[in-house]
Structure 1
Amino acid sequence: MTHNRPTLRRAAALVAAGTACLLLTACGGDGDSTTPTHGSHASASASASAPASAGRHNAADTAFAQGMIPHHRQAVEMAGLAPDRAGSAQVKKLAEDIEKAQEPEIRTLSGWLASWGEDVPAEGSTDHSGHTMGGMGGMMTAEDMDALKKAKGRAFDRAFLKMMIEHHEGAVDMARAEQSGGAHAPAKKMAGRIITSQSAEIDLMKQLLDRG
């Protein structure tokens, strides 16, 4: 029996220490249960909401992207006619700038729609009917595009400038609608760039027209 007493004492000490530890943990939990638990929920909520907020969009964003893609595609198509048809170096440079600006935006807009699970307008689906469905104003008709393709030199320059002014004005209207009604911050930022750049190009094109 004498040999077992140290073992019994050690066992009792371990049990006591374990009990004290449990009591301290329980006390600490009662005193701070609201703060750490709430904090951890807040952190989880913040981390979960961050990507959701970054990708948040509404119907206005979808309409903007789905309308601007075919709208930009037609502008790029029009600009692509300039190298072989335009008589003015300024018109050729303007057309080049339009292509450089709008082709990357088409890719960005398409990426947003795909990430949102929304339909991306198919290639070649540009509507030349001239309607304004979804606020897509300024679109040229098939007849407009045929006339532009047949024009050369100064006649092309003037037709191109007149059509592109109307086209840009439609894009600016669409961009303003996105800024006022959209929820996706990157889309609203793009809309702001479109308003600024295309408004400046409208002014330039009007000046070129006035010069004759």
Structure 2
Amino acid sequence: MIRRLAAVLSLAATGLTVFLLRDTGTAEPVVRTEAAAPTAVDEHYARMMVAHHEQAVGMSRTLIDKGAVPERIRLIAEFIERDQQREIDVTNEWLIAWGRPATGPLEAGPMEAEADHGMLTAAQLGELDRAGVQTAPDVFLRLMIEHHRGAITMSRSLLDAGGGNTYIRGMAKHVINEQTAENDAMTALLVKEPSPSGS
């Protein structure tokens, strides 16, 4: 059974309400033997997305740990940290259930050219690490928007490549829908809440 949850951020100060929608299972994942076995494309996407999510979780924790973050931006960072960590855990459980290792190098495949989509560079992550309390929220929003765009591109590539596993295709659709909504929310905040320095 799949149910839709809405994480609603009410932005009273600006009159803006952002709805972050996501689909999630009501129970632990269950592997059904009648489902299509994962292809090399499916597995490659799953591993890429775990790595991509791990970077987003780290970015969110970096911002939260700075303290004194505007509440609306902190709520988004906390949501991303919590939701993407859950997806990492579930995806690794599926890989193990399929008899694949949960960690390890990516295998070459049709989507190899997409592997770097949205993965931020060490220099970009360093920019967030070094940002002070006043500038960190804007840096986080800008970098996370770029990061999400990469995940959306990877997910569309998976669907175009014809991955056949039901879970992986559902995950790709979920990433597209959810991260598009999150990007809309973050873009609105980037416009509404400029840094105190005016940058």
Q: Which of the residues 162, 171, 175 maps onto 1:190?
A: 171
**Relative contact order (alpha carbons < 8 A, sep ≥ 6): 1 or 2 greater?**
2
Structure 1 residues 104, 117: closer, same or farther in 2, change over 3 A?
same
Q: Which of the residues 178, 188, 194 maps onto 1:207?
A: 188
Aligned to 2:102: 120
Is 1:76 the counterpart of 2:42? The answer is no
Following superposition, the deviation at residue 116 of structure 1 comes to: 2.5
- Quick check: which has more Rg, 1 or 2? 1
How many residues align? The count is: 155
1:66-110 deviations in Å (ceiling 9; x for gaps): 100110000000001122326321111000000121111101111
Is 1:92 the counterpart of 2:74? The answer is yes
Is 1:102 the counterpart of 2:84? The answer is yes
Alignment of 1:1-212 (within 5 A): 51-54=32-35, 56-85=37-66, 87-121=69-103, 134-180=114-160, 181-211=162-192, 212=194
Following superposition, the deviation at residue 143 of structure 1 comes to: 1.9
| 3-state SS of 2:134 partner | helix
TM-score, length-scaled by structure 2: 0.71
Following superposition, the deviation at residue 188 of structure 1 comes to: 0.9
Following superposition, the deviation at residue 134 of structure 1 comes to: 4.3
Give yes or no for contact 2:141–2:190 (8 Å, CA) kept in 1. Answer: yes
CA RMSD of aligned residues (A): 2.1
Q: Counting strand residues as a fraction of each chain, which structure ranks higher?
A: 2
1:140-190 deviations in Å (ceiling 9; x for gaps): 112221221121223101110111001000111111222232111011112
Give yes or no for contact 2:57–2:80 (8 Å, CA) kept in 1. Answer: yes
Following superposition, the deviation at residue 133 of structure 1 comes to: 5.1
Aligned to 1:10: none
Q: Structure 1 CA distance, aligned partners of 2:65 and 2:129? A: 10
Unaligned runs of 5+ in 1: 1-49, 126-131
Aligned to 1:33: none
Aligned-partner residue type, residue 122 of structure 2: A
Q: Structure 2 CA distance, aligned partners of 1:121 and 1:75? A: 17
Give yes or no for contact 1:179–1:191 (8 Å, CA) kept in 2. Answer: yes
| 3-state SS of 1:53 partner | coil
Structure 1 residues 207, 51: closer, same or farther in 2, change over 3 A?
closer
Aligned-partner residue type, residue 74 of structure 2: K
Unaligned runs of 5+ in 2: 1-30, 106-111, 195-199
Structure 1 residues 51, 93: closer, same or farther in 2, change over 3 A?
closer
Following superposition, the deviation at residue 52 of structure 1 comes to: 4.0
Give yes or no for contact 1:69–1:121 (8 Å, CA) kept in 2. Answer: no
Q: Structure 2 CA distance, aligned partners of 1:90 and 1:54? A: 40
Structure 1 residues 133, 115: closer, same or farther in 2, change over 3 A?
farther
The percent identity for this pair of structures is: 34
